[in-house]
Amino acid sequence: MMTHRSPNSQPDPVHCEALVQDAASLAKVVEQCLACPAVAVDTEFVWTRTFYPRLGLIQIGVSREDVWLVDTVTLPDLAPLGRLLADEAVVKIFHDPEMDLPILLRASGVQASNVFDTRLAAGFGGLAGTLSLARLISEFFGVDLPKTQTRTDWCRRPLTPHQLAYALDDVRFMPELREALIGKAQECGNEPWMREEMLRCSRPEQVAQSDPNEMFRTIKGMGRLAPAQLAVLQKLVAWRELAARRMDLPRRRVLSEEACMRLAKRQPRTGKAVAEMECVARRTAQECPDEVAAAIDEGRAVPQAEWPRLRSSSLPQKVLKEHADAILNAVRGAASARGIDPAIVTSRKGVNSLIFDHLRSEDDGHALRTGWRAELLSGALEPLLNALPTRG
């Protein structure tokens, strides 16, 4: 995790006992953590030239004094850590774990259970749900963490004492921070809702890889393609996704978005023709142009009835925006009255999807219609949705 820090102070060098570099030491740390009610966890990684982030360190802490760094470069077998991650009796404290959770799953083979996200928790206690960890630590404990190692290559060895100390600071205060944030949520009357939302952090979809067949929807400009071209784009981008995972390369190093669009339009029929297109990455042109051509052929063979459809509303864009604005205003009002950051409740994208689903009479399972969100917005959504002019 990358945090924003104040340059006002320097960390103390870390004691060598905190550095875990062998299986026996890791097992000992895991046993100690399993006896604790909550454990802070963070990761440091490098993500520049690979599809999957390269894990360099795992930080673990149960108090300000009891903190450890698991050196994942010298200790690649992290299976023992899986016991801790899987134990439902131990709360795993993270800050904004969107990246950490898939990395730890890949490293240990286990998805973290009973996750507590301090960033998310802040949004239930009258604070913004976008605050950095350093900002929260400064707010609650008056400690300014230094911003000195944000460009560190965490996979390079040896790491300096100051780099190690910097990494430890990410977990040192988190157990106390969790307690403070629970207290803030209780003051606002939001603790049950906060705990309900935390359950989402441990669901399988939080660490699931994207569906390759849906990745074409992320390509800029795809909405301008003809339906038949869109079918080709879908197969191309699905191939790119699987190839990037297999080759452990960034997607753009396999095929750029521009290349995907051009290939979907021109639809070369042979690997030789693919390789001759300047937009195709050199490695792809040299090693697997026939695979690209095969993906194009597969897309071209899709029957018209199975061409992918763009998600859209029957409403004009201006009308959609007006109704979405009205719903967002209702969300902001209800959330602010409860000391909840409205951004945690939903986004414009979430509201648009609610409108699309409602127009198709498929909105019963939408996030805004279930759980604590439905309770928060009780009575506010129905008249706004019923005011929509048409049903598609």
Residue 13 has pLDDT above 60, yes or no: no
Greater pLDDT, 265 or 363: 265
CA torsion, points 111, 113, 119, 121, in degrees to nearest 10? Answer: 160
The confidence score (pLDDT) of residue 16 equals 55
Six token digits for residue 54: 């390269």
> How far apart are the C-alpha atoms of 133 and 61, rounded to whole Å?
15
The confidence score (pLDDT) of residue 145 equals 87
The confidence score (pLDDT) of residue 80 equals 93
> How far apart are the C-alpha atoms of 185 and 192, rounded to whole Å?
9
If you average pLDDT over every residue of the chain, what do you get?
93
The confidence score (pLDDT) of residue 314 equals 74
Residue 11 has pLDDT above 60, yes or no: no
Find, among 204, 263, 274, 207, the residue nearest to 238 by Cα: 263
Here the contacts of 284-292 (C-beta below 8 Å, separation 24 or greater) are: 284/243, 284/254, 284/255, 288/243, 291/239, 291/243, 292/236, 292/239, 292/255, 292/263
Give the residue-averaged pLDDT of 113-133: 98
The confidence score (pLDDT) of residue 363 equals 85
Going from N- to C-terminal start, the domains of the chain cover 16-206, 212-306, 317-386
The confidence score (pLDDT) of residue 1 equals 46
Q: Could you report the per-residue pLDDT of 166-201, keeping only the tens digit for each?
A: 999 999 999 999 999 999 999 999 999 999 999 999
Find, among 171, 161, 104, the residue nearest to 133 by Cα: 171
Quick check: 239 and 292 in contact, CB under 8 A? yes
Read off the pLDDT band of 311 (50, 70, 90): confident
Compute the C-alpha angle 43/48/52, nearest 5°: 60
Strands 115-117 and 91-94: parallel
CATH 3.30.420.10 is held by the domain 16-206: yes
Q: Do 16-206 and 317-386 come out as alike in CATH topology?
A: no
Could you tell me the pTM of the whole model?
0.91
Find, among 139, 100, 147, 143, the residue nearest to 122 by Cα: 139
The percent of residues in the chain predicted with pLDDT above 70, rounded, is 94
Spell out where 249-382 has E strands.
none
> How far apart are the C-alpha atoms of 27 and 32, rounded to whole Å?
9
At the topology level, CATH places domain 212-306 in DNA polymerase; domain 1 (1.10.150)
Q: Could you report the per-residue pLDDT of 240-291, keeping only the tens digit for each?
A: 999 999 999 999 999 999 999 999 999 999 999 999 999 999 999 999 999 9
Residue 12 has pLDDT above 60, yes or no: no
Q: Which option is the CATH number for 317-386: 1.10.150, 1.10.540, 2.115.10, 2.60.40?
A: 1.10.150
